[in-house]
Structure 1
Amino acid sequence: MFDVIAVPVDGSDYGYEAADIAIEIAQKFNSKIAAVHVLEEFSLSSYDSEEDSGDAILAKISEKAKDVGIEVTEHLLTADPLRDMKFIVDQTRADLVVIHAHGANNNRFVSFDENNVSDAQIGSVSERLLRNSEVPVLLIK
């Protein structure tokens, strides 16, 4: 049913929780995981330290998945996660995206009150992906 499950991870506990669920789903459907970490285009940190951190985040996901026999492709990219996540997911050829409602940057939230969906708030990257993705998105709360 799902050949490739994309899981965008930012290094937060929330991201790792979404990755754990993506791995469980991958086991059930014999899917592959596309682990995605985006290095922000305009960071105040050095690129080398950001890259090292991103590599460590993706390695943690890969190790967990490989321990249970799931194939993982790591994607470490420089982009704007808010603007580019749909394109990034499209490039992984994912048929499902598993993403947490919140991420490392918890001060950027969007409310669905205007749409009468709920009063819950979710991160801006997750919200934009929900609105624009052409594949199913599983939002983890």
Structure 2
Amino acid sequence: MFDVIMVPVDGSEYGYRAADVAIEIAEKFSSKIAAVHVLEEFSFNSYDDEEDSGDEILAKITEKASGAGVEVVEHLLTADPLRDMKFIVGQTRADLVVIHAHGANNNRFVSFEDNNVSDTQIGSVSERLLRTCDVPVLLVK
């Protein structure tokens, strides 16, 4: 049913939760995972630090999926997540996108308690994908 399941991960607990759901679905449908981490085009951090962090995030997904017998293709990209995520979905040839509702924002992770985030709010990248993506999008809270 799903050959490639794309999961964007940002290093937040919500991103890892979405990856867990993607891995579970991939197990059931013998799918591959396209794990995507986007390095922001304009960051105040050094590119090397951002790249190392992205590699670590993707390695965690690959390790967990490998333990479940699921193949992962890692994608570490420099882009604008809000603008480019639909294009990235097409490039990974994903049949399904599993994305978290909330995540990192300028390296400060969203906390429902600290920021009074309601259960009905979603992040801008997730919201844009829900509106524009040509493949099914599973939103994980």
Above 0.5 in TM-score?
Answer: yes
The list of structure 1 runs, each at least 4 consecutive aligned residues, that deviate by more than 6 angstroms after superposition, is none
CA-based RMSD: 1.2
Matches within 5 A, 1:57-96: 57-96=57-96
- SS of the aligned residue for 1:20 comes to helix
- With the length of structure 2 as denominator, give the TM-score of the two structures: 0.90
1:21-71 superposed Cα distances (whole Å, 9 cap, x missing partner): 000000000000000000000000000000000000000000000111100
Alignment gaps of 5+ in structure 2: 112-118
2:124 matched residue in structure 1: 124
Alignment gaps of 5+ in structure 1: 108-118
1:76-101 superposed Cα distances (whole Å, 9 cap, x missing partner): 00000000000011100000000010
Matches within 5 A, 1:1-141: 1-105=1-105, 106=110, 120-141=120-141
Q: How far apart, CA to CA, are the structure 2 residues paired with 1:55 and 1:77?
A: 11
Aligned-pair distance for 1:104? 1.1
- SS of the aligned residue for 1:76 comes to strand
Question: Which residue identity is paired with 2:72?
Answer: V
- SS of the aligned residue for 2:122 comes to strand
Identity among equivalent positions (%) equals 82
Aligned-pair distance for 1:120? 1.0
- SS of the aligned residue for 2:104 comes to coil
Question: Which residue identity is paired with 1:74?
Answer: E
Count, aligned residues:
130
